[in-house]
Structure 1
Amino acid sequence: MSDSSTTAAGDCTEHRTPRTSVTEAEVEALVRGICFKTGPPRRLGVEVEWLVQEERRPQLPVTDDRLAAAYAALRTVPLGSALTVEPGGQLELSSPPAASLMECVGTVSADLAAVRAVLRRDGLALAGIGHDPWRLPRRFLREPRYEAMEACLDRTGPAGRAMMCASASVQVCVDAGHEEPGPLGHGRRWWLGHTLGAVLVAAFANSPMAGNTPTGWRSTRQLRWTQIGPGRAGAPALDVEPRAAWARHVLDAPVMCVRREGGPWEVPEGLTFREWTRSPRPPTRADLDYHLTTLFPPVRPRGHLELRMIDAQPGDDGWIVPLAVTAALFDDPQAAERAYRTVKPLAERALGKPAPHNPLWVAAARDGLTDPELRQAAEDCFDAALEALPRLGATTEVTDAVAAYHDRHVLRGRCPADDLLDRLRGADARAHGKDDLR
């Protein structure tokens, strides 16, 4: 769902922002109140990101002028989803909140068909892959936000630029859940997002290359998030009540930038938002709202929960499978309970460390479903999702797509990254006149 949209429960960015400063206590109260809006899960959304490539020669970079012309043309096309451009020129479609899985699928599918038709006229295509396998990160957008973001992230190395300019994902948005405990309670859903999230990383890993070379990770995109660091891209501790944990995380996270009118934005080093509230020039409510948009945890509470860990998927409709599986495991009570029981033993492998910087998530991103425990968990979760999808009103086409993915990948301990690596090895073998790589 786009930044301007809300689930039934609301969105933590949709508020008027008075210019008066906020205290540390006010920040904590605001974050607690606006980022977890509880109620029966009724809305679903998806944000699909794509790399934009030359249709005939995808290894070549697309010039800024061609990207700008393509996006100008796309902005004249009526869409049900919000169309935005990422820093490296990636295209993102953010669905409006949908009342059902099939409503969400229908809206985004129609929008993608319209987008592809416009791009095709200029010889461009959308590529569903989690990290650009060929080109170096190159920034397309020249805006103060991204100038500041680049300067901030460069302090931890090149991973930030790769995240900004060379990555793409499928982000599924679900409501925060009931206030009361249970399979659909907000505490359970918060915990499930961070633990089931590792299974989703492994099952849908689709970014094994960078610079035309295998990185040794099935999800290089997740590797980049771990390299950015926990303050910017990490989750809060899961052994603390969700609202308290997130409020503490927001206050202790580093400030990316201090916005200035009519001049360059300041990029402070080592300043937390908590420290800023104690300074002679404390932040305003608008500064808090902006700070929330500069944090990139794997599960981001925005009134609803934004699940950010899934790589972009291959094929025109590949994004539908992770959307359907995630919706089933979160919004069908029986499937949610089964998923919880399935992934609960995996939590021990996290060693109490937040995602994605713990051993469980590292194994998921590096090894995919070659990890035996993650493979078994994925099999059980896909089985639960397939049973639940008819109860959620999924069409035969959607359930068949999930079943096909289950058979082709999950049951074989594979993910799309393995398909990419197989094709690469086959190309290498043919280039050297060999039938295989032995």
Structure 2
Amino acid sequence: MTSSPDTVTSPGRSEGTQNRNPRATWGLVVGASLISTGLAAYEIVPASVTPVIRDSLGIDATAAGLLVGTMFGTAVVASLPTGALLDRMNTRTAMVLAVFLLCIAGGWGWVAGQSGNYRQLILSRILGGIAYVAVWNAGIDIVSRSVGPDRRATAVGVFTASGPVGFALGQGGGPLVASHFGWPAIFIVFVGIALLGLLIFWPTSRGLGHSSGDAPTLSEFGAVLRNREVWLVGGLGFAGYALYLFVNSWGGPYLTQELGLSVTVSGALVAVFPAIGIFARTSSGLLSDRVFAGRRRPIVLGSFVVATPLVLSFTWLQSIPVLVAILLVTGFAVQLTLGLSFTYVRELVTEQVAATAVAFQTSVGLAGAFVAPIIGGRLVDTGGFEVAFLVAGGVAIGGIVLAWMAPESAPTRG
């Protein structure tokens, strides 16, 4: 008999986890992280050469922005169905199929770019969005099951650091690839990273394709969506991703338009905000597992407590060194939540629906990422940067409230 997902139960280990070679376990983490890194780079890379793409295809800024935004939108819609499917299939096989989809999407995008077909390019990005969300959800699921509860947040934190690593590779490598091979090549070059990751992941993930227990019933799946605690942690993800994308999108324009810095300098300064996530996301699990004895709530609460005054004060300060320091500290604080929330949410449900809970977290979080730049732009147009950052600070305050209300996860409960 399986317990209801409404019951807070510590997910059991997958078959074979207890006897796994530590080298194989970390090989799995590295392989899955490389796959995700390749997809994250593919996701963001059009943003690095937007002017070139606009000139080549003759499109406006909104149309060019959709080349990135389409993947976020697709992930929001596809995440929950993907998670439900992952709870019913072999997660290891799902990773292989997702990389295969990425290969198709990358090749399709390259051909569409060469021919100047914008519509086909968007369709290829939709396919890439499905591959991205499948790898993200499946990767968190299988990495979580590859280790015991005492190291789970650490392992997942390392995996989620693949996001900022991929963003950095895409932003920095895209212009170089475009200058040497033409801008359509940006859609295929990072597929190689995912393929390398698959070569490492496949032999090290044997025995971890299926979670322990039966596939979830429709009633168990529905119970995840009715679980108040899952919604609270989902809200934390929404607030965290909204802040992350808001600052990524509008921090640079603020430095350019209000402080008179060049676009190049502003971009370089704001780049510290996502880049610090490499350390934040890996350390979030380590802090939770080692310093707070497996408790997740103190980390996410502290994340928003630190970020709130910094976001609210951003437009009141004129010193560039101080603003860079604020970007570093805020980026670190916000991404502590982004790294930990996926471990947090899966520990609030049973193993049978863990992938569904992670997919829910992905969908809600990326919804915040999708709407924040759009609403932020509207606020900048109508009220200026001060109003926009004030509203962002309000979102951070909301994160404090949600974190205060959130429960402790299963490993710390008696």
Q: TM-score, normalised by structure 1?
A: 0.30
The structure with the largest strand share of the pair is 1
Q: Which has the higher contact order (CA 8 A, sep 6+)?
A: 2
The structure with the largest helix share of the pair is 2
Q: TM-score, normalised by structure 2?
A: 0.31
